[in-house]
Structure 1
Amino acid sequence: MTPNGNSPNAEQAVESPTYLADIRFYFRPQDIEHMAAKGIDLGTYDGVKDNAISIDAHTSPPDADMPPDEEARWSAARVQTFEKWIADGFPLGTAKPVEPPPPPQAPARLRKEVTTLSDAEFELLAKAFNALMARDPDDPNGYFVLAGHHWLPKRFCLHHEDRFNPWHRQYLLEFEDALRSVPGCEDVTIPYWDFSTPLPERLQHPPFDKYVLPADPGAAAVPPKTGFFPYTTQRYPVAEITQNMADSGVLADTATSLNQSLWGAYNKGGYQKFSIQAHDSGHLSIGPTMADQNVASYDPVFWFFHCNLDRLWLSWQTHVGATTLTTFLSTLAPTQNKKWLTQSPFNALKPFSVTADQTIESKVSYDRLEPVAPPEDVLENLFGSIAATSRFAFRSASPVSVRVKGIDRLNIPGSFVVSLLADGEPIAKRGFFQPDDPRLCATCVEHGIVNLDFRMTQDQLVDKTLSVRIDVPSHAEEIGTAFPLSQAGDPTVNARLLVEEA
């Protein structure tokens, strides 16, 4: 199946059509744009559902007048499929992986896995990094200023909200442009570290092993922040990073994110929820600098880690058929707010001039996209609850969702770890990445109550005594690592067997 109305299913009636697998591909970008000018939304589930009867009237032969170009008129089989979808109650369904397009012949920016760079390519990358690090601390294209966009001193970053992935995609491009401004490095691209593998040897040596801050990043912050000058970035030993990645669910959440049908939202579900959880736990796994939002982006590994996250996002976009703004909108959950993507000023990505919608079509390609489900399978769209008007099913292999719900992050001084314990022993944990002064962060305040999700098998939970613990590793000396749950908003625990639309 391919997007934008070219589905083979379009020419044969589908017995049990769904929006995500079939219907969304019936509307071409020009159809959506044409009708949007008339106030009719054909680009989202809600829009198609709300206008379904009118759509059917205008597309059904023999009196069809839409689409306006006659060669694009719907076949009888397509009309039959659409009417079956209406009769079945507009099922959302699950996406089927689409056939990825062929890679571009000569991509303007091809990012590669760092271990596959030739010696000459790697030397140019090191040259570019060294040059940026040597630039004056006030140089807008210098390492110190660029890294300072993420938190200290600028405090610009957008975490745990819809613009998270778009913001970081543009941030990588801005940093890559700075690398390319170094004479002789005009074709350099940021490689990615596939963090399902140990931290590569190449990233354990200068200039990629550490960065010595040339000035106080907190001096220009509003309000000022002390304690980070002099400062040299630090990481855990490689073996510890690898173990942390596995223990904190980075790889598990990455795999879950790639198999989602919907884009989703943080605190709720879909690709975005599990992608951001993997990001947070990854930061804490690499620490201690990467675990501290004040200075995380000064560690050179930040760029290779985030480049891989962007590759994973593009992998999901490609396989779910969401690489353009039009097709991406079709993966938004029903009733999901679209202002963050389509309406100014809600789609702003400060300090960049680019807006969120302009990041959906990636300006880079990667030497390898991460595979998801095989083409004959479908992606996941599991729910904790579902409308009673829907047909639904519980599967024997369906996971249990354990949600630690209602954590008041604003009371917690820095990044923290939430652990799920069975009979007193940790069986799963997830990290949460945030500054140590979250009340000074407008985004943190706006999204101050958060949830963390664990996907568990039933045998991990049944007949065991379960409990939850929150730890703040950076404050072990002052308060001990354990943080009182009563001071974290008295979060609750919800455990549900996930259900799917049948």
Structure 2
Amino acid sequence: MTTPPTTHDPDPVVAAPTYLADIRTYFRPEDVAHMATKGIDLGTYDGVEQNALTIFAHTSPPNAGMPPDAAGKWSANRSQTFKNWIVNGFPLGTSTPVTTPPGGAAPARLRKDVTTLTDAEFALLTTAFNGVMARSSTAPDGYFTLAGQHGLPKAWCLHHEPRFNPWHRVYLREFEDALRSVPGCQDVTLPYWDISTPLPDRLQHPPFDQYVLPADPGATATPPVTGLFPYTTERYPVAEITANVTSLGVLDDIATSMAQSLWGASDINGYQKFSIQAHDSGHGSVGPTMGVQEVSAFDPVFWFFHCNIDRLWLRWQHLNTATTLAGFRTTLAGGDDSWLTDPSFNPLPPFTATADQTIATDIGYDRLDLPPAPAETVMENLSGSIDAARTFSFRSADPVSVRVKGINRLNIPGSFVVSLLADGEPVAKRFFFQPNNPRQCETCAKHATVNIDFRLTREQVLDRTLSVRIDVPGHSEKVGTAFPLAQAGHPTVNARLLAGEA
């Protein structure tokens, strides 16, 4: 007698399903698009939760009306899993990370670690940078003009708001296009500097070590800005940069961002919150120029640094199955997506691309550092508060979240450092990146009150007196660095245990 082969059920019943691990995968892009025309959102947690009973009624076999095509019909097992999700209270859960490198067609442009470029590749990159830098200060594809889009004189950049990552993704491509426009450099791609490693020697020699501004970037700004011409970019010594990356928690915030199941909001939670904190502290780690928004993009290291920020975002997208617009929207649970889909809010000036067009990209990276096994990547969706209708738990291994809340950034003249002190000794600090005159920045004015989040072990804060200090490094020669907390909006210190769904 022959024993029939064991078959694997491709659609098993899940007893305790969650939205991020299971339910979101049930809705195909065509399902989402079809129902959107009827005013039902199947692409986000909020939309599915609000319409769960209707969805269950219309998709349950054997007489399901939706999806309309035979290929999309739900199995009895899938329908039971969805019912279990409803009965269990619509748990959000956490992502199941994708731990294998993405397949499919090769990217149109492959960006590499600058330290791995061959001598010929690096020579071509050098030629491209020299060519762009040699162009007139008024040339639209010249270095001075391109760098001036981020800071002075144009100050287009969108910081500390949802379009931050999309804006920079388009900006990097525009700069890369300019490099490719140099004769003979049509295949050049912009490399990245992995900030977890020391600043490479290759970036410490011309034309990558500094840039002498050929014109006054503040002369044509509105209103005009003085004091930044003549100007040559500056950096800290390599050992100091490395020490700053550690003391400002850059790598800690990168690691935290990579563990997030949700995109979140720029000043609340999720990937975006910690990605932006890592970005800001990375700027502050590198040097006086990178720490000043008005001139940071003139330092050639800016492009390699931001290329790495984009690489990390793409890595997070792959981990969370968020490399398409439909997949990305599933990570916006509880968040407003108007910045992504509403034509009134998704532009990325001065570029023609919109935020939704940046999610799927034909840019690739030679290394996304995807973990080799699921057990090595534990995604989270921790928060300081949770809906009382849900079950939740506190794990002893989870960190304490200490938030310096309610900082009025508009009163602080320039980028600043927030230090958390325990019994008078610093235990953590972060750099906040902003213009020298934030009151004249439209984006700053819209997001005037900001929070800084620290994740600490309980031993670092228990039975200790916590306090906060704000320093403004750029003012050390005039009035010292300390900034009065009373003038920064009287921020508060909130310490919270982070809760997760049980």
Task: Identify whether the pair has TM-score above 0.5, normalized to the shorter chain.
Answer: yes
Are residues 1:31 and 2:48 paired? no
Contact preservation (8 Å) 2:99, 2:373: no
Q: Secondary structure at the match of 2:469?
A: strand
Are residues 1:369 and 2:363 paired? no
Alpha-carbon displacement from aligned partner over 1:317-362 (angstroms, at most 9, x marks no partner): 001000000000000022x111100001200100000000000012
2:10 and 2:386 mapped to 1: Cα distance?
28
Are residues 1:298 and 2:298 paired? yes
Query: Which region of structure 1 is more displaced relative to structure 2, 462-471 or 75-84?
Result: 462-471
Alpha-carbon displacement from aligned partner over 1:420-458 (angstroms, at most 9, x marks no partner): 111211110000000000000000000000000000000
Alpha-carbon displacement from aligned partner over 1:349-383 (angstroms, at most 9, x marks no partner): 00000000000012200000033594245411001
Using the TM superposition, give the Cα deviation of residue 69 of structure 1 relative to its aligned residue in structure 2, in angstroms.
1.3
Alignment length (residue pairs) = 494
Contact preservation (8 Å) 2:132, 2:143: yes
Q: Secondary structure at the match of 1:436?
A: coil
Are residues 1:267 and 2:259 paired? no
- Note the 1:3-402 alignment, pairs <5 A: 11-100=11-100, 102-334=102-334, 336-371=335-370, 374-376=373-375, 378-402=378-402
Using the TM superposition, give the Cα deviation of residue 19 of structure 1 relative to its aligned residue in structure 2, in angstroms.
0.3
Using the TM superposition, give the Cα deviation of residue 105 of structure 1 relative to its aligned residue in structure 2, in angstroms.
4.9
Amino acid paired to 2:441: C
Q: Secondary structure at the match of 1:127?
A: helix
1:297 and 1:59 mapped to 2: Cα distance?
52
2:102 and 2:314 mapped to 1: Cα distance?
14
Contact preservation (8 Å) 1:10, 1:26: no
Using the TM superposition, give the Cα deviation of residue 99 of structure 1 relative to its aligned residue in structure 2, in angstroms.
4.5
Using the TM superposition, give the Cα deviation of residue 77 of structure 1 relative to its aligned residue in structure 2, in angstroms.
0.7
1:484 and 1:101 mapped to 2: Cα distance?
49
Amino acid paired to 1:267: D
1:124 and 1:467 mapped to 2: Cα distance?
51
Alpha-carbon displacement from aligned partner over 1:122-152 (angstroms, at most 9, x marks no partner): 0000000000000000000000000000010
Q: Secondary structure at the match of 1:430?
A: strand
Amino acid paired to 1:271: Y
Contact preservation (8 Å) 1:10, 1:77: no
Q: Which residue of 1 aligns with 2:4?
A: none
Q: Secondary structure at the match of 1:71?
A: helix
Contact preservation (8 Å) 1:10, 1:78: no
1:54 and 1:257 mapped to 2: Cα distance?
35
Amino acid paired to 2:403: R
Alpha-carbon displacement from aligned partner over 1:283-334 (angstroms, at most 9, x marks no partner): 0010100000010000000000000000000000001000000000000022
Amino acid paired to 2:314: L
Using the TM superposition, give the Cα deviation of residue 103 of structure 1 relative to its aligned residue in structure 2, in angstroms.
4.2
Query: Which region of structure 1 is more displaced relative to structure 2, 68-77 or 259-268?
Result: 68-77
Amino acid paired to 1:364: I
2:206 and 2:333 mapped to 1: Cα distance?
45
Contact preservation (8 Å) 2:211, 2:232: yes
Alpha-carbon displacement from aligned partner over 1:446-494 (angstroms, at most 9, x marks no partner): 0000000000000011122221100000001122111000000000000
Q: Secondary structure at the match of 1:479?
A: coil
**Structure 2: tracts of 5 or more residues without a match:** 1-7
Percentage of matched positions with identical amino acids: 68
2:85 and 2:106 mapped to 1: Cα distance?
41
Using the TM superposition, give the Cα deviation of residue 89 of structure 1 relative to its aligned residue in structure 2, in angstroms.
0.8
Amino acid paired to 1:141: D
Contact preservation (8 Å) 2:99, 2:372: no
Q: Which residue of 2 aligns with 1:498?
A: 498
Q: Which residue of 2 aligns with 1:406?
A: 406
TM-score when scaled to structure 2? 0.97
Using the TM superposition, give the Cα deviation of residue 106 of structure 1 relative to its aligned residue in structure 2, in angstroms.
3.7
**Structure 1: tracts of 5 or more residues without a match:** 1-7
Query: Which region of structure 1 is more displaced relative to structure 2, 94-103 or 187-196?
Result: 94-103
Q: Compared with structure 1, are the counterparts of its residues 384 and 372 closer, same or farther at alpha carbon in structure 2 (3 Å cutoff)? A: farther
Q: Which residue of 2 aligns with 1:423?
A: 423
Q: Secondary structure at the match of 1:12?
A: coil
Amino acid paired to 1:417: V
Amino acid paired to 1:469: R
2:200 and 2:450 mapped to 1: Cα distance?
33
Using the TM superposition, give the Cα deviation of residue 271 of structure 1 relative to its aligned residue in structure 2, in angstroms.
0.0
Using the TM superposition, give the Cα deviation of residue 389 of structure 1 relative to its aligned residue in structure 2, in angstroms.
1.0
Q: Compared with structure 1, are the counterparts of its residues 483 and 21 closer, same or farther at alpha carbon in structure 2 (3 Å cutoff)? A: same
Amino acid paired to 1:341: L
2:41 and 2:140 mapped to 1: Cα distance?
42
